[in-house]
Amino acid sequence: MVGKPRCLGVSVCRCCVSRRRFLHVGAVALGGAFLPAYSFAQAARITTTDLGGATLFQGAGCNVVAISGPDGALMIDGGRAVNAEALLTAVREATKTTRVHTLINTHWHPDQTGANDAVGRAGGVIVAHEKTKMMLSNTVYNAIGFKTRVPALPESGRPNKTTRGDGSMEWPAPSEQSASRGQPIDYGYMPAAHTDGDLFVHVPKLNLLVAGGVVSAEEWPLLDYQNGAWLGGRVRALERLATLVRPDTRVVPASGRMLTGKEIVRHRDIYQKLYSTLIGYLNMGLGPEDTVQRNPLKEYGSEFGDPSAFLYGANRSMMIAYVPD
């Protein structure tokens, strides 16, 4: 009989939700068939969408959001390194600025941090969770969703402003030249949800939420349980995000189309149900292969694709985080 799930180093709500990142380990065994599209290099053909006070950039390797400011742009995530020059050019043109003043990394994956070095060398501020900085400062030898090791970034590309939890900033930042206050930009830590250093970025004035790799409208988001994520952490993150949104909130995921706040609430319900189901499976002694065979997510296959690799990884993550009495 499996005991109650315990938080391994982080506080948990409900049945205890806590450990790290979604999708894939089965993908490796399946020859990469289920690796998410954003794990591969993207062509540097950048498209822009006006969000009314912000701009969405797609085509650099991940979804990127930028907001203009008098001293440069605020950018959230940075695509892949091979596309950094094209992305930064597009950001400068769209925001009518000459540089990126502040870059926020929602997590450490190469799809999100490819512009870090260019921004850092130009004197920009790079904001991230402390665990994201740790991952970017060291070679990662094994990460779900990446077939090769991920080398450390040069020091100039590593976050130079870190957080351990939630925080807020004004944008544009107050300056001696302007006494006016900027709009609040809130960010929050989502422990063990996609990686172990995920941040969301909420812009209440624009009814805009950048959620990074925790959600997707088109696929089952990666769960990197080998580096601290687990299904419980994903559930807790969706529960948190559901409290921030209105039905019409624009939610930007790491890749693919935007979601609405209404969809976030639905995704929360899907993952809560799956979490309870997998606790039942563990209590019956069922492993990852059994979970894939039973396929508790089959009704969503036409919407998000084959869930086999995700279910395999989700069960594995539960086996790591679920401690027997």
pLDDT in tens, the chain (325 residues): 334 444 433 333 333 333 333 333 333 333 333 333 333 444 579 999 999 999 999 999 999 999 999 999 999 999 999 999 999 999 999 999 999 999 999 999 999 999 999 999 999 999 999 999 999 999 999 888 887 899 999 999 999 999 999 999 999 977 655 556 789 999 999 999 999 999 999 999 999 999 999 999 999 998 999 889 999 999 999 999 999 999 999 999 999 999 999 999 999 999 999 999 999 999 999 999 999 999 999 999 999 999 999 999 999 999 998 665 4
Nearest CA to 87 out of 62, 68, 69 is that of 62
* CA distance from start to end of the chain: 9
CA distance 174 to 184: 12
Residue 184 main-chain phi, psi, to 5 deg: -75, 135
Residue 71 burial class via C-beta count within 10 angstroms: exposed 0-12, middle 13-18, buried 19 and up: middle
Is the dihedral angle over the CA atoms 172, 174, 175, 177 positive or is it negative? Answer: positive
- What are the Cα distances from residue 110, in Å, to 54, 160, 256? 23, 17, 17
Nearest CA to 236 out of 283, 201, 271 is that of 271
| Tokens 């580096």, located at residue | 227
pLDDT of 175 reads 65
Q: Is 281 helix (H, G, I), strand (E, B) or coil?
A: helix
Instruction: Please tell me the pTM assigned to this model.
Output: 0.85
Q: List domains and CATH numbers for the chain.
A: 26-321 (3.60.15.10)
CA distance 259 to 173: 29
Q: Is 161 helix (H, G, I), strand (E, B) or coil?
A: strand
pLDDT of 178 reads 57
